Amino acid sequence: MCLAIPVKVEQLLSDDMALVNIGGVKKEISVALIEDLAIGDYVIMHVGYALNKIDPQEAEHTLELFREMGVLEQVLSDHGVTP
Amino acid sequence: MKYVDEYRDGKMARHIAEKIRQSVKGDKSYHFMEFCGGHTHAIFRYGIPDLLPENVKMIHGPGCPVCILPIPRIDAAIELAEKHQVILCSYGDMMRVPGSRRRSLLKAKADGADIRMVYSCADALAIARGNPDKQVVFFAIGFETTTPPTALIIQQAQKQQVKNFSVFCNHVLTPSAISTILESPEVRDMGLVPLDGFIGPAHVSTVIGSQPYEYFAEEYQKPVVIAGFEPLDVLQAILMLVEQVNRGKAEVENEFTRAVTEQGNLKAKNLVADIFEMRAEFEWRGLGLVPYSGLRIKPEYGDYDAEKRFVLTASKGTDHKACECPKILRGVKTPKDCKLFGSKCTPENPIGSCMVSSEGACAAYYSYGRHQQKHKS
Amino acid sequence: MKKQKFTHKLDLVNGKVEMVHGAGGKAMSQLIDQLFIDKFTNPILNQQNDQASLTLPGNKMVMATDNHVISPLFFPGGDIGSLSIHGTVNDVVMSGARPLYISCAFILEEGYPLSELAQIIDSMAAAAREANVSIVTGDTKVVEKGHGDGVFINTTGIGVLTDDIARGADKIKAGDKILVSGTLGDHGVAIMSLRENLTFDTTIESDSQSLDTLVASMVETVPEISCMRDPTRGGLAATMNEIAQQADVGIQLYEDAIPVKEQVKSACEFLGLDPLYVANEGKLVAFCPAGKAKQLLEVMRAHPQGQDAAIIGEVFEDTNNFVQLETSFGGMRMVDWINGEQLPRIC
């Protein structure tokens, strides 16, 4: 039961609600489960509720890991090293 | 879509797949279980099995709350709508699950019961407020990801004194399910299910944190890598598991660091602890009775407990004799091993729960992976 | 024809549909006269017979029928009225035929506001004019309040084949290429978003439109087109599976080639839907010999309704009739028949 997607907080509303945006699509969801939320934060949304904030540094870190792998491949293949 | 598209990059996927290929030892076979149904779905939807080397096999676990809900609970939900004439609000996934006599919520709805699909449990509470003269019951299912929202609406219902609202609680817990699999005779004693490691659920972990998995890693000496939901996350997690297995390690690693911390979401955990308590045992379709695996509403919130408000007949519904869901859910058999798969049991005509939910191993395999058998015919 | 006289003009501002409007008497006559005939006006309809006498050029006639039960009745980009005309015109033109005449039958619910009915009729009239078709005959019934959803419409369309080429699934051969005329999923998402209270930065509108001129330019330039179909309910996936079975072939699609708007993708993420299974109302898929695909693509892209056209796959021999998709990763997966109503996933 995991379908959850990252969404960006655009507006903070009353009653622990927020307007969020992903790829141009907006919806009002509950942020009652999140502490210290700011506009511009990204949260993971599940069944109309924000469950957790996304840590942008960690996100970049993960992507960097992926990219490094790609770089290594390219370097190896550039040097004619067959994996 | 930020935080989504980057993790679906095809080129990067091939790089990671290549790295997996380089890392596996030719003479070894690797069997990893992805616990979470969402991961099962992602694996098939993105064609990941095609990218993995021959000796890396994915075993599909029981982390699909729709699949593991036992027939008597579905019968009870139908009973609430039909006999007690409540407005029953349910997530879409539950609508087609067959209970006893192949009846489902959708069939009951066609027969006249007031059953409504909701995207969010908040909608169910709104329906209750909008229909003060009717009883409204929310059919709550799901693992730890979905439990905090249910906790919130019970809290809200009490604050706002929405008297005609109650919750039929079927929330289940991930760690106990993992234990059960690891404790099952096929795994522990008979070694029939070679299980070299787990891909830990993505969003459950954002709530419970990475800490609860440390027990499994240590007790059963199996590595656990918590993976994000996107295909690159899954591939990366498989790579991390392969590396751990090669080095003989059994640790909890977190691939999904952008959303999972060690402690998880304390606010959500505390709220759940306020509203719910553990049942001594709960029946899982396919796994039987699992201790400390289910939640029920605490007595302080008993007014909102549908099981207290309504008298429900305990049905004895049992699965079809030839249905292999129990073994499939435990990873002992694959969908292809089931005699009913693809013939009597299809997504249009599901017999077992693994075929109903689009995350069930059988449905995922049928809908996305059936083409692999063309190579045989 | 002598214009009928009525005591009071039909109140299209505050009036409501009443049981008498379906009873066959003066009230029904007035509804037909002052609403339907007034807006749909053409020489055949104005004769007000129970049937329409038609002359058809050529001798190969094409006929199609549709029921429209969409809810909500009004949505971004259209309403049940325009949808009903576009839908039936498209069904007719998919054979390569020129659409000529439409019949429309209404089942109205007691209490439905005449002002909204008038809007729907206006919509239908405009859609018919645009597609160069005449609405020549019809019927009206009224059901008690609570027994209908406001308005149900049946439209039946007739067209003529201008060339002698028979097209259909049975003409498809292994090696044929598959083209789509534009972005997928727009209509379904426009409707679902209303239900789920999603709003958009730039509104996603239904793509409901008549494809008659697009098809005309396609068959004129590439008469070798073997089959065309418009993917409506069930999306591209349903159409591909239907055709694979009817033509007894296998189909291979390429995920990267299939055009889907960014916001439609995002909305599908939100709702747990797969764009391949989401309804369209103004798109078509076409099958043609591989050698003609590039030319066909150019023709389609040159037309305003085909600007986002793309080659999305090909046909191969397969007795299993599988429809497969190569994902962006190079992995393969099935695009299976949809099972039942696509309920938005949460899992």
Q: Which amino acid is at B150?
A: T
B80 and B162: one domain? yes
- CATH tag, A5-78: 2.30.30.140
B220 and B161: one domain? no
| Domain ranges (residues) in chain A | 5-78
Q: How many B-C residue pairs are in contact by the CB < 8 A criterion?
A: 100
CB contact under 8 A, A24 and C347: no
Structure tokens at B369: 């992976």
Asked if residues C262 and C185 have their Cβ atoms less than 8 Å apart, the reply is no
Cβ of residue A38 closer than 8 Å to a chain C Cβ: no
Question: Per-residue pLDDT tens for B267-291?
Answer: 999 999 999 999 999 988 877 888 8
CB contact under 8 A, A2 and B120: no
CA distance B108 to B331: 32
Asked if residues B315 and B75 have their Cβ atoms less than 8 Å apart, the reply is yes
Q: What DSSP designation does C345 have?
A: P
Residue C151 phi/psi, 5-degree rounding, is -140, 130
Residue C76 phi/psi, 5-degree rounding, is -60, 120
CA distance B86 to B79: 9
Cβ of residue C199 closer than 8 Å to a chain A Cβ: yes
Q: Which residues pair with B126 in a beta bridge?
A: none
Cβ-based neighbours of B244, under 8 Å, separated by 6 or more: B197, B223, B225, B250, B251, B253
Alpha-carbon dihedral angle through residues B183, B187, B191, B193, given to the nearest 10 degrees: -170
Place of tokens 């695996």: B293
Cβ-based neighbours of C14, under 8 Å, separated by 6 or more: C113, C114, C115
Residue B286, domain member (yes or no): yes
Structure tokens at C65: 């029928």
Query: How far does the CA of residue A28 sit from the closest CA of chain C (Å)?
Result: 8
Supply the CATH number for residue B91's domain.
3.40.50.11740
pLDDT at residue C20 is higher than 70: yes
Residue B146, domain member (yes or no): yes
B178 and B250: one domain? yes
**Residue (of B32, B29, B277) closest to B151 by Cα position:** B277
Cβ of residue A30 closer than 8 Å to a chain B Cβ: yes
- Give the structural domain span for B334: 325-369
Q: What DSSP designation does C305 have?
A: G
CB contact under 8 A, C336 and B366: yes
**Residue (of B145, B30, C15) closest to A1 by Cα position:** B145
pLDDT of res. A76: 61
Cβ-based neighbours of B287, under 8 Å, separated by 6 or more: B62, B68, B177, B180, B181, B326, B329, B330
pLDDT of res. C174: 96
Instruction: Provide the mean pLDDT of chain B.
Output: 89
Question: Per-residue pLDDT tens for C172-219?
Answer: 999 999 999 999 999 999 888 777 777 777 678 999 999 999 999 999
Task: Indicate left, alpha or beta for C47 from its phi (over 0: left) and psi (-120 to 50: alpha).
Answer: alpha
The CATH T-level fold of domain C19-161 is 60s Ribosomal Protein L30; Chain: A; (3.30.1330)
Q: Which of A1, A25, A28 sits opposite C267 (nearest CB)?
A: A25
Cβ of residue B65 closer than 8 Å to a chain C Cβ: yes
Largest CA-CA distance found in chain A, in angstroms, rounded: 61
pLDDT of res. B5: 83
Touching partners of C (3+ C-beta pairs < 8 Å): A, B
Q: Which helix (H) or strand (E) holds C171?
A: none
pLDDT at residue C345 is higher than 70: no
- CATH tag, C169-334: 3.90.650.10
**Residue (of C146, C143, C160, C50) closest to C99 by Cα position:** C160
Q: Which of A3, A23, A46 sits opposite C262 (nearest CB)?
A: A23
Number of domains in chain B: 3
Residue ranges, comma separated, of all CATH 3.30.1330.10 domains in chain C are: 19-161
B61 and B179: one domain? yes
CA distance B36 to B21: 24
Query: How far does the CA of residue C279 sit from the closest CA of chain A (Å)?
Result: 19
Residue B199, domain member (yes or no): yes
Residue B316, domain member (yes or no): no
User: C163 to each of B70, B322, C160, C216, how far by Cα in Å?
Assistant: 60, 56, 9, 11
Question: Per-residue pLDDT tens for B142-160?
Answer: 999 999 999 999 999 999 9
CA distance B208 to B256: 13
Residues in A touching B271 (Cβ below 8 Å) = 33
> Which of B203, B253, B358 to mutate to probe the A interface, most A CBs <10 Å?
B203
pLDDT of res. A83: 46
Residue ranges, comma separated, of all CATH 3.90.650.10 domains in chain C are: 169-334
**Residue (of B292, B201, B203) closest to B252 by Cα position:** B201
Cβ of residue A75 closer than 8 Å to a chain B Cβ: no
Question: Per-residue pLDDT tens for B163-210?
Answer: 999 999 999 998 888 888 778 776 666 566 778 999 999 999 999 999
User: C306 to each of C43, C223, C256, how far by Cα in Å?
Assistant: 33, 17, 18
pLDDT of res. B348: 78
